[in-house]
Structure 1
Amino acid sequence: MTQFNVGFATDIGKKRLQNQDSGTALPELGIFIVADGMGGHRGGETASAMAVDIISKTLETNKQAAKPEKDILESAVKEASRLIYEKSTKHPELQGMGTTATILFSVGQKFVIGQVGDSRCYYIRDGLIWQLTRDHSLVAEKIRAGLITREQARTDKMKNVITRSVGFEVDVNVETFELTPRSGDVYLLCSDGLSGMIDDFEIAKTVTKNLSDENNPKKAADELVTLANNNGGDDNITVIVVQVR
Structure 2
Amino acid sequence: MRVGGASDAGRVRKQNEDAFWFDERLLIVADGMGGHAAGDVAANLALNAARAAIAAESPGTGSREEVVRRAIAAANLEVYQRASGDPRLYGMGTTLTLAWIVEGRAVVGHVGDSRAYHATRERLLQLTADHSVVAELVRSGGLRESEAQFHPYRNLLTRAIGTAPHVEADVTSVDLGPGEALLLCTDGLTAVLDDAEIHRTLMEERDPQACALRLVEMANARGGPDNITAVVAVMEGR
TM-score by length of 1: 0.93
Q: Which residue does the alignment assign to 2:34? A: 39
Whole-Å separation in 2 of the counterparts to 1:151 and 1:217: 31
Preserved contact between residue 106 and residue 112 of structure 1 (Cα < 8 Å):
yes
Give, in angstroms, the shift of residue 193 of structure 1. 0.3
Preserved contact between residue 10 and residue 238 of structure 1 (Cα < 8 Å):
yes
2:112 aligned with 1:126, yes or no?
Answer: no
Q: Which residue does the alignment assign to 1:222? A: 213
Give, in angstroms, the shift of residue 127 of structure 1. 4.9
Deviation string for 1:197-231 (max 9, x for gaps)?
111111111121112xxxx1111111111111111
CA RMSD of aligned residues (A): 1.2
How does 1:54-133 map onto structure 2 within 5 Å? 54-133=49-128
Give, in angstroms, the shift of residue 126 of structure 1. 0.8
Which is further off, 185-194 or 104-113?
104-113
Preserved contact between residue 51 and residue 81 of structure 1 (Cα < 8 Å):
yes
Match of 1:163 among 144, 158, 162: 158
Whole-Å separation in 1 of the counterparts to 2:230 and 2:62: 30
Preserved contact between residue 139 and residue 156 of structure 1 (Cα < 8 Å):
yes
Whole-Å separation in 1 of the counterparts to 2:144 and 2:101: 34
The residue identity in structure 1 corresponding to 2:136 is E
Which is further off, 178-187 or 75-84?
178-187
May I ask how many residue pairs the two structures share in their alignment?
Answer: 236
Preserved contact between residue 127 and residue 204 of structure 1 (Cα < 8 Å):
no
SS state of the match for residue 129, structure 2?
coil
Preserved contact between residue 37 and residue 45 of structure 1 (Cα < 8 Å):
yes
The residue identity in structure 2 corresponding to 1:233 is G
Preserved contact between residue 85 and residue 170 of structure 1 (Cα < 8 Å):
yes
Deviation string for 1:83-141 (max 9, x for gaps)?
11111111111101111111100123422110100000011111521111111001101
Q: Which residue does the alignment assign to 2:44? A: 49
Whole-Å separation in 2 of the counterparts to 1:158 and 1:7: 32
Identity %: 35
Match of 2:11 among 11, 14, 18: 14
The residue identity in structure 2 corresponding to 1:144 is R
Extract unaligned runs of 5+ from structure 2: none
Name the CA shift for 1:146/1:161 in 2 (closer, same or farther; >3 Å).
Answer: same
Preserved contact between residue 63 and residue 72 of structure 1 (Cα < 8 Å):
no
TM-score by length of 2: 0.96
Preserved contact between residue 32 and residue 39 of structure 2 (Cα < 8 Å):
yes
The residue identity in structure 2 corresponding to 1:22 is A
How does 1:136-175 map onto structure 2 within 5 Å? 136-175=131-170
Extract unaligned runs of 5+ from structure 1: none
